[in-house]
Amino acid sequence: MKKKTDHNKNNTKKTIMIIAAAVLLLAAVVMLTLFLSGAFQKGQTDDKKEDHKGVVGVISDDWDPGVEEPTDSQQRGGTKIPGYSSAEMNAGDKSLVIRIGNPKDNKVGFFASLVLSDGTVLYESGLLKPGQGLDEVPLNQTLEKGTYDAKVVYQCVLLDGENTPLNAAESGFKLYVN
Amino acid sequence: MKAKKLFTLILAVLMIALSVVSVSAGTLTESNPDGQTEVKAHIGGTTPEPGDVTYIISIPDVVDFGELHQVSENRDVSYKVKLEEVNNLDTDKQQINVYVKDQYATVEGDQEFYIANKADAAKKFSYSVYDVPAAEIDDDKTSLSQNTMTQAAGYYLTGFTTQGEELNGNLRFDQTQLMGYNLAEIVGDYSGYMIFFSIIEDQ
């Protein structure tokens, strides 16, 4: 009888030890995963942290507006603003394919936002320096099927470290949601 | 039996751990908020797809009236808006219209163009925007804000159909409006911002 009791005690001890080991293993895996994830994300963002602070979306440094830009000899001053005829997406999409960016010949910075005619802001960028832009932007909300009047607002700023405002431009277009 | 229990326990732990890894791998970051890393390719010179840049206009980034004085003279500053590039615009039916307004102008409210004191925005003075150069402004020529702004986009400025087209306009500050003030009260730096709205519309 005593032997059986000792045997049960041993089993209980083993079970507790196994559970403790399992909990420790789980904790170790979670900690390792979080550490690796954090380190990876830090490595991804540190390079352009200063330029892209607060920016969402995939920004490329060699953004191409897709139309031929004037050469230096053709330039006669002014800030170049991209314009659009339309954009298209499906109801429920969380991103929109649209080329939003700052042509590389400009001397000023842009803060770009995608806005519906009723004032709904679908996307806001951080500072876009000349040559920086996006080909697809994430949306703050999904849209229902229909045709919307939309615009990309380009707020021009001086690249003086303080983002001193300059004149602004708005490019209007039809947004078709299928 | 013990081995079976141990195996079941370890399997459960591994499955929980894997699910944690999976959630973590899907965590969105500032640099990749939607998990989308693909940059779409573009082939130039073809019919624009929805979302492509169809045209590029240039606008004045800043207009500087320089130093203003209490004199009975106008201060004129030229500006230019130009259609730099355009791709596949149906010029028989469409044009790129450009509108302009003050940053604070509304259809229902104040529609003037202003420069305001940077330290005290309540101190502000109006200026006029013309769609022609200073040399073409005569007594019959009205400034944009002498009309009624009926669209939120602003006052109609011009319509472009051909690459290279440009509008040369003039901004006029009437310095006589400063003469009724104590100069000490109004000195300082002034600034104002215009908003240029462009859109493809039917002719």
3-class secondary-structure state, position B89: coil
Burial of B130 (0-12, 13-18, 19+ CB in 10 A): buried
CA angle at A154 for the pair B167 and B168, rounded to the nearest 5°? 10
pLDDT of residue B48 exceeding 90:
no
Chain B residues 130-189 with CB within 8 Å of chain A = 152-153
What is the C-alpha separation between B114 and B71, in angstroms, rounded?
19
Q: Which residues of B touch A136 (CB under 8 A)?
A: 36, 38-40
pLDDT of residue A31 exceeding 90:
no
pLDDT for A46-94, tens place per residue? 333 334 333 345 556 777 777 665 544 334 469 999 999 999 999 999 9
List the structure tokens of B98: 């450009």
Q: Picking from A41-45, A169-173, B88-92, B102-106, which range would have the lowest pLDDT averaged per residue?
A: A41-45
pLDDT for B96-152, tens place per residue? 999 999 999 999 999 999 999 989 999 999 999 999 999 999 999 999 999 999 999
Q: Determine the pLDDT at residue A44.
A: 36
Q: Determine the pLDDT at residue B2.
A: 56
Measure in Å the smallest separation between the Cα of B152 and chain A Cα atoms: 10
More confident residue, A165 or B25: A165
With an 8 Å Cβ cutoff, is A148 touching chain B?
Answer: no
Q: Determine the pLDDT at residue A39.
A: 40
How much is the ipTM here? 0.76
Which residues, listed in sequence order, are joined to residue B55 by a DSSP beta bridge?
A83, B86
With an 8 Å Cβ cutoff, is A90 touching chain B?
Answer: no
Which chain B residue is nearest to residue A17, measuring alpha carbons?
B6
Q: Determine the pLDDT at residue B175.
A: 94
pLDDT for A138-149, tens place per residue? 999 999 999 999
pLDDT for B170-200, tens place per residue? 999 999 999 989 988 999 999 899 999 999 9
CB-nearest to A135 from B13, B40, B59 is B40
